[in-house]
Amino acid sequence: MKCWIKTRLRQSSYCSLTKDDRVWNYGGFWRRAGAFALDYVLMAIYLLAVTLLFLFLNTLFDVNQWLFSDRIRGQLTASLLVTLPVLLYFALAESSAWQGTWGKRRLGLKVADIDGDRISFGRALARNLLKFIPWELSHTLIWEIRFTSQTDSMLISYGFALVYLLIGVNILALVMNKKRQTLYDLLVKTYVINQR
């Protein structure tokens, strides 16, 4: 496992040091954002395929009317078809031998524990459940907008404010923390490490 030694040397070497003697080369904001953008391309391709499938099925069976006619069914359908597959993609990839999604691997990043080792599926799932709270909350709010009267618009505004607050806190934690951990990384004790 490559890590940086606490000296003035700029080279990396294989560590056989105690945990306190090593300093990982942590993945910063721009590299992590780039990796997520690459993964988002995969998500967009998947979403396009799901959309095309539903357009086809809707012409045959009018499934959209049944699946998306009320808030609860719409939210449940979207969660099962969109959120769950994306969540599983991230959790499975980050807990695999690759230790990262396709985007992370392309940019030389991996998700690890304090020793630089692979994390368990449970930890990867917890990490991504926390990471995607703002995403799922925004989906919930969009369904509320579609099915709620104007009298509840203040609650929706507060909900979106919470979404942006959570995103902001994660970005702030990432750039302010010397180990480049987001809030969800801090909570589940994971690190995103540069492999290059």
Per DSSP, the three-state class of 194 is: strand
Is the Cβ–Cβ distance between 4 and 25 less than 8 Å? yes
Confidence (pLDDT) at 105: 96
* Percent of the chain whose predicted confidence (pLDDT) is above 70: 86
Confidence (pLDDT) at 67: 77
Residue 169's Cβ-count burial label (10 Å; 0-12, 13-18, 19+) is: middle
Contacts of 175 by beta carbon, 8 Å cutoff, 6+ apart: 29
Strands 109-112 and 22-23: unpaired
- Determine the Cα–Cα distance for residues 121 and 118; give it in Å rounded to an integer: 9
Is the Cβ–Cβ distance between 193 and 109 less than 8 Å? yes
Is it the case that residue 63 has pLDDT exceeding 90? no
- Determine the Cα–Cα distance for residues 87 and 129; give it in Å rounded to an integer: 7
Is it the case that residue 109 has pLDDT exceeding 50? yes
Confidence (pLDDT) at 190: 96
Is the Cβ–Cβ distance between 173 and 190 less than 8 Å? no
Q: How far is CA 104 from CA 98, 132, 170, 173, in A?
A: 9, 17, 18, 19
Identity of the residue numbered 169: V
178 CA to centre of own chain: 20
- Determine the Cα–Cα distance for residues 155 and 4; give it in Å rounded to an integer: 48
| Residue 39, number of CB atoms within 10 A of its CB | 20
Of 154, 157, 156, 186, whose CA–CA distance to 169 is shortest?
Answer: 186
Tokens of 157: 């505004």
pLDDT digits (tens, 9 = 90+) for 25-44: 899 999 999 999 999 999 99
